[in-house]
Amino acid sequence: MKEVILNEDQFANVKEVHAYLAKALSFPAHYGKNYAALSDCLGDVSEPVIITVVRDCAEDFDQAERNEEMDREGNPDQIDWDDFTKICRVLMRSARYNPSLSVMIVC
């Protein structure tokens, strides 16, 4: 199983996160480096991968999970998410639908 560690503190911006994930997960050259493209590429992962995300604190992620439940119920997402939290949401949502992908959030 491939293991990828995504430490929030090691990135200055979301572009660096996209570049890191693209390299670590061997995304195709045409990877668009945006949230939709990330979701698409994560959906195509066929070999077992575990992504461990190291966050500064759990508070943002807890709120993201509560809001994710609201989204499933059809309520609009009203939170202005920071970029790393958006990446976490894409990762978690993708892991929900792709059995080859596991995501663990640690704080």
Angle of helix 35-43 relative to helix 83-97, nearest 10 degrees, comes to 30
Percentage of the chain beyond pLDDT 90 is: 63
Question: Residue 58's pLDDT is what?
Answer: 54
Q: What is the CATH number of the domain that holds 41?
A: 3.30.370.10
Number of domains in the chain: 1
Question: Residue 64's pLDDT is what?
Answer: 61
Query: Confidence class of residue 33 from pLDDT cuts 50, 70 and 90?
Result: very high
Question: Alpha-carbon distance 96 to 1, whole Å?
Answer: 18
Instruction: Show the domain range for 15.
Output: 2-106
Question: Alpha-carbon distance 32 to 35, whole Å?
Answer: 9
Write the pLDDT tens digit of every residue in 88-100. Answer: 999 999 999 999 9
Helix, strand, or coil (residue 84): helix
Q: How far is CA 65 from CA 6, 36, 89, in A?
A: 19, 19, 8
- Is residue 13 over pLDDT 70? yes
Percentage of the chain beyond pLDDT 70 is: 77
Question: Residue 77's pLDDT is what?
Answer: 44
Helix, strand, or coil (residue 59): helix
Write the pLDDT tens digit of every residue in 47-84. Answer: 999 999 998 765 555 556 655 655 555 554 443 458 88
Mean pLDDT (the chain, rounded): 85
DSSP letters of 9-30? Answer: GG-SSHHHHHHHHHHHTT--TT
